[in-house]
Structure formats: C-alpha cells, structure tokens
Structure 1
C-alpha cells in the first residue's frame, strides 16, 4: 500500500487550521496511515494563493486534489474557507466523513 500525499494548506488569519490538522491526523490514524507525513503549507501572500489555487483556509488536498473542490470561479484568496455540512449548515471545517472518504478513495487507487 502506497501512502497518499496529504497536504494541509492554511492561512494565519484563520483560526480553524489547528482543528483541521487534528481532524486529518485522526482520520489518517484510523486508516492506519502515519499522520507525520502530512505536508503543511502556510499560504502567506496573494501570489502564494494564486500559485496554490488556494481559495481559503484550511484546504486539505489528497494526492493533489482538493477534498472539496471549490466552486468554479472561486478566486484564490487569503481568507477563511466555508464548507457546508450534509444538512446544509456552514462550517469552517470540512465534514470529517469527507476527509475520511478522500483518504479511503486514495488508498483504493494505490
């Protein structure tokens, strides 16, 4: 089994990145993956945001793919990201089930 490439992109103005990392670590551990392999990238400038296609913090990518692709036309920006739960409520974090599903999908294709 090849471990997926897992990235956590964050912006310092967003208070949710620590919780996002803990959620990601928990999901990885639950699947037998080593969370120490998480690549963390702080997005500091607008140029960084453009280069990374960063539409807000936190952003989690598995094997280069955003686990919740932003809506078409969402501009790169240094901002907090808004996710939506299955019941439609907004959240500063992705649904934990989506995080796990993205990791599982990557493992299925390894």
Structure 2
C-alpha cells in the first residue's frame, strides 16, 4: 500500500478563498481514495510566519513539501491573497482543480 502524501493548506485570514480551497482539496483527495482528515492546515498570521513558511499568498497548497504551483523565484513572502492561473490562462484566487488533482496523483505515483 502506498503511503499517503503530506498535504498542507496554508492560509491567511485576510483572504476569503481558503475555505473554498479546502473544499476543493478535500474533494480531490476523496476522489483519489485519500483521507482529507490528513490535511495539515497552517494559518499564517505574521510576516515572520510568512517568511518561515515561504508563504507567498493565500491559499497555498503543498503536496509532499512542494507548492502545487511554485511561485516566481523572486516572489517575496507576504500576507496577501494569491493569484493562480487556470489552464485556460485566466487568473483566479484558487488553483485549477485539475492542478490540485495532478499534484496529488504525482505524489501517489512516487510513493
């Protein structure tokens, strides 16, 4: 049996999309037979937290320590809402659901 990947949801209270991101993540995990109760939720409160967590915006989803959409190299840690780009190029406050599922599938393939 493959080990479940480590899944983290990092969020900042000033950004309202973290609840929808969690629901999206739970749905993707359930669809792959993973227990969404294993999601590690980390609230980023201070600039020091953001720096320590390499947090470039809310919500951030990491699977096995890897951001599902790595930020630009020059991105600074910040208490801010994050911008993702959907597969069709549109900006969004949430990652594309297919991107979330793909990150989970890759982790399972490498477990």
TM, length-normalised to structure 1: 0.99
Partner SS for 1:40: strand
Task: Give 1:100's aligned residue.
Answer: 101
Deviation at 1:88, TM superposition (A): 1.2
Deviations along 1:7-57, one digit per CA (max 9) or x if unpaired, are 000000000000000000000000000000000000000000000000000
CA distance in 2, matches of 1:14, 1:62: 21
Deviations along 1:50-107, one digit per CA (max 9) or x if unpaired, are 0000000000000000000001100000000000111111100000000000000000
Task: Give 1:5's aligned residue.
Answer: 6
CA distance in 2, matches of 1:44, 1:108: 34
CA RMSD of the aligned region, Å?
0.4
Matched, 1:19 2:20: yes
CA distance in 2, matches of 1:81, 1:70: 10
Map 1:1-110 → 2, pairs under 5 A? 1-110=2-111
Task: For structure 1, list consecutive stretches of 5 or more residues without a partner in the other structure.
Answer: none
Runs of 4+ off more than 6 Å: none
Task: For structure 2, list consecutive stretches of 5 or more residues without a partner in the other structure.
Answer: none
TM, length-normalised to structure 2: 0.98
Partner SS for 2:9: strand
Aligned residues, how many? 110
CA distance in 1, matches of 2:79, 2:21: 17
